Amino acid sequence: MDLYHDGNSEQGIAREVRVSRSYVNNTVKRYNEAHTSLIAPKVCRGPEKVDIYASEYIEAQRLIKPSIYASEIRQRLLLDGILHPTDLPSSSQINKLSRNEHAMTRKKKIGYSA
């Protein structure tokens, strides 16, 4: 934007910064409309929602019943008062935790033919 305010053309700015002219055009247009030159940042992941107590609880539930679904674990975390509803991890977080930290994989079914 400094180059634009100094009176340089969009084509000259694109050449100097080594980006496309359309990118410079869109950036200038966005600045003129919303007075911002930066693209809104993507939403980044917050801190992990699984603390040590919840992690131990998840591990115990998997040891008791290895075929338990992550959604069932979420419900039990809530019903047993381990976590507040706003702190509940997603099912994929529970599965990743079980796989990576607890070294538990899905139980593989072995099919026998008669």
Residue 11 belongs to domain spanning: 2-34
pLDDT of residue 57: 93
Shared domain for 26 and 57, answered yes or no, is no
Q: Is residue 11 part of a domain?
A: yes
Cα 26 from Cα 37, distance rounded (Å): 9
Helix axes 21-34, 10-17, angle to 10 degrees: 120
pLDDT of residue 114: 52
Q: Kindly give the confidence (pLDDT) of every residue in the chain, 114 residues in length, as a single tens digit, with 9 standing for 90 and above.
A: 788 888 888 888 888 888 888 888 888 888 888 776 555 444 455 556 678 889 999 999 999 998 899 999 999 999 999 988 888 898 989 998 888 888 877 655 555 555
User: Token digits for 47?
Assistant: 């801190």
The model's pTM is 0.52
Q: Is residue 106 part of a domain?
A: no
User: Token digits for 62?
Assistant: 């998997």
Residue 36: how many other CB atoms lie within 10 Å: 11
Cα 27 from Cα 91, distance rounded (Å): 39
Return phi, psi of residue 84, to 5°.
-75, 150
Q: How many domains does the chain have?
A: 2
Q: Is residue 45 part of a domain?
A: no
Q: Is residue 56 part of a domain?
A: yes
95: CATH: 1.10.10.10
pLDDT of residue 108: 57
CB 80 within 8 A of CB 109: no
